[in-house]
Chains A and B, each alone.
Chain A
């Protein structure tokens, strides 16, 4: 976009746009990427969708609206909403502590936040069961209840909001807050009128990521909440259907989860456009799921040989 071919310096062979894929042309590289993505991601998902509709739309609908399927979907959505609401509040508080407060051990706390990303979900489930199960050393037994579903999901989704809000807090201009305080605004007013609106894009993105994760979570719920009818989230329901040989039922509910996942990704993309002035900071800060995607303005910058 900066240099039209005609105005470019007369060394046409020099790669003005910096390095290209060195060993192959971009076309071959693109072909490889598309092939890899198709084989690994797209074809399996296509097979799933095709299986779900194998016996027609009617069967799909019957499977999705069967009492068990509906119950599992309702439970999954309600628990995910509760979890996301709780972690939005606590995630913001924790991010606040990590950015604006000083206390001994802060750097350790900051590092431990990512534990749920690193710890295998089945290990999380086992240890939550040991801690809050029928053998609980603290005398709390919530295993195989809906509370257990919520606690397991709280564990695995904890880092999302913290990591999405943290960079915005670091970047935030303190002058506005100081001005508001000098004009007599109370702490709560400053939070509501100045801090919260500035954190909103990160908070919304973190909440959406956490929600997507919660909807599909499997391992952490499995041992702790179990597969009782009243605690069966959709992913556990799907595995049960696979084990009982009902491939269409399993894939029908899977398609519902797949659509929900696509919706959440669309919402996240939209949030990021909306909060695009924060894009750079959120890209640098979201440690494990930096979904900042591509900055459209710098994408392919200066590369004006659009081939194919």
Chain B
């Protein structure tokens, strides 16, 4: 049956492929945990429970609490429009949604920095109204929304295409209005796809570094999310603190992987 791989070439490929993964993925992952707990539990715990650390954690969770629901509502609505409503602008919308995948986070950060900066189109007007966007939470939220924009749309579109419209038509024939049809038929059918998109969005928002670093100004205890906290601690030669926050982020990343796998199975089932 195995037409290509003789035993020898199979072992060769295994050594190459798995060896590469071990060096590039596994070793770094092990290293985070080793480095963090090298000198016991106390140093990383102290770092995370320091006022700046706790503030960074809270701010990261705030980013998730704002950006993820917004992008989820937008994502599902946008996917419905793209799949179910033919329009000549759909191609353009689809292309714009892919932009955050390809644009450098630094470029995203700089774009927001320029738009809301003192010389930017929006900066002066908003400053007069007393709204600070740069170096404060609103700018960081905008950056988080930008970088995590595509995930829910991209995960929902194929699922919507797959489920088709028969059940929805049946529901509306039986007298359900559009709202009822959406909640009772469409959403249950696409929920795992949406959930998968939500997991990816959350992971991206939690981990975003480049774009947020530009717009936040990285003020400790004020505009520092966990990834920014990692860099700051490293720059201040507090390696234990940097690794303490890193372990927290790594655990969240592993949880994300687990969630992705569970959801993938549910989606395929």
Q: Do the two shown chains form a genuine complex with each other?
A: yes
Interface, chain A (partner B; CB < 8 A): 14-23, 26, 29-30, 32-34, 36-37, 40-45, 47-48, 51, 90, 93-94, 96-97, 100-101, 103, 109, 111-124, 126-128, 130-131, 137, 151, 154-155, 158, 174, 177-178, 180-181, 187, 190-191, 195, 209, 212-213, 215-219, 222-223, 234-235, 238-239, 242, 247, 250-251, 254, 257-258, 261-262, 264-265, 269, 283-284, 287-295, 298-304, 306, 308
Contact A115–B77 (Cβ < 8 Å): no
A119, B207: Cβ atoms closer than 8 Å: yes
Name the distance in Å between A164's Cβ and chain B's nearest Cβ.
13
If over half of A's interface residues share one DSSP class (helix, strand or loop), that class is named, otherwise mixed; here it is helix
Q: 10 extra interchain contacts, Cβ-Cβ under 8 A, other than A126-B246, A288-B200, A298-B161?
A: A93-B13, A101-B10, A127-B32, A181-B4, A235-B107, A239-B210, A283-B158, A291-B154, A298-B83, A302-B165
Q: Is A130's CB under 8 angstroms from B82's CB?
A: no
Beta-carbon contact of B169 and A16 below 8 Å: yes
Residues on B with beta carbons closer than 8 Å to the beta carbon of A190: 3-4
CB pair A21–B21 under 8 Å, yes or no, is no
7 smallest CB-CB distances across A and B, nearest first, come from: A300-B86, A216-B104, A18-B165, A120-B207, A44-B111, A22-B178, A18-B168
Chain B residues lying within 8 Å of A45, measured Cβ to Cβ, are 99, 103, 111
Say if the beta carbon of B120 comes within 8 Å of chain A: yes
Interface: B42 (CB within 8 A): no
Q: Work out how many contacts link A and B, with CB atoms closer than 8 A.
A: 350
Residue of B nearest to A290 (CB): B154
Q: Is the CB of A21 within 8 A of B81?
A: yes
Check A115–B29 contact: CB distance below 8 A: yes
17 A-B contacts (beta carbon < 8 Å): A29-B85, A43-B115, A44-B112, A90-B16, A90-B20, A97-B17, A100-B5, A101-B13, A109-B18, A130-B243, A235-B104, A235-B210, A242-B214, A261-B99, A289-B154, A293-B157, A301-B86
B106 near A223: Cβ-Cβ < 8 Å: no
Residue pair B80, A261 in contact (C-beta under 8 Å): no
A177's partner among B3, B173, B260 (CB-CB below 8 A) is B3
Cβ of B129 within 8 Å of any chain A Cβ, yes or no, is: no
Kindly list chain A residues whose C-beta atoms are within 8 Å of the C-beta of B84. Answer: 17-20, 300, 303
CB interface residues, B 66-98, toward A, < 8 Å: 74, 77-78, 80-87, 89-91, 93-98
Q: Do B31 and A131 touch across chains, with their CB atoms under 8 A apart?
A: yes
In the bound assembly, the distance between CA atoms of A307 and B108 in angstroms comes to 34
Determine whether the beta carbon of B114 is less than 8 Å from that of A30. Answer: no
Contact with A along B142-165 (1 / 0, CB 8 A): 100110010100110110010011
Q: Is the CB of B231 within 8 A of A48?
A: no
Chain B: interface size category: 35 or more
User: Do A294 and B106 form a contact, CB below 8 Å, given A26-B85, A126-B243, A251-B114?
Assistant: no
Query: Is there a chain A Cβ closer than 8 Å to B24's Cβ?
Result: yes
Q: List chain B residues, Cβ under 8 A from A195.
A: 4
Are B13 and A96 neighbours in the complex by a CB distance under 8 Å?
yes
**Complex contact A42–B96 (CB within 8 A):** yes
Shortest C-beta distance, B232 to chain A (Å), equals: 10
B26 at the interface (CB under 8 A from A): yes
Instruction: Check A115 against B103 for contact (C-beta < 8 Å).
Output: no
Question: Residues of B contacting A117 with CB < 8 Å?
Answer: 200, 203
Write the nearest CB–CB distance from A236 to chain B, whole angstroms. Answer: 8
Nearest chain A CB to B260 CB, angstrom units: 6
Select B110's contact among A177, A191, A250, A284, beta carbons within 8 Å.
A250
CB distance from A172 to the nearest CB of B (A): 12
Query: A158 contacts which chain B residues (CB < 8 A)?
Result: 24-25
On chain A, the residues within 8 Å of B101 by CB distance are: 209, 212, 265, 289, 291
Question: Could you tell me if B102 and A216 are in contact, using CB atoms closer than 8 angstroms?
Answer: yes
Q: Mark B205-244, 1 if CB is under 8 A from A, else 0.
A: 0111110011000000000001100110010000000110
Docked complex Cα distance between A32 and B203 (Å): 26
Contact of A121 among B161, B172, B209 (CB under 8 A): B209
In the complex, the answer to whether A19 meets B25 with C-beta atoms within 8 Å is no
Contact B93–A218 (Cβ < 8 Å): no
Complex Cα spacing A113 to B17, Å: 12
Q: Looking at the assembled complex, report how far the CB atom of A92 sits from the nearest CB atom of chain B, in whole angstroms.
A: 9
With the chains together, A269 CA to B99 CA distance in Å? Answer: 12
Q: Across the interface, do B103 and A14 meet the contact criterion of CB distance under 8 Å?
A: no
On chain A, the residues within 8 Å of B98 by CB distance are: 265, 291, 293
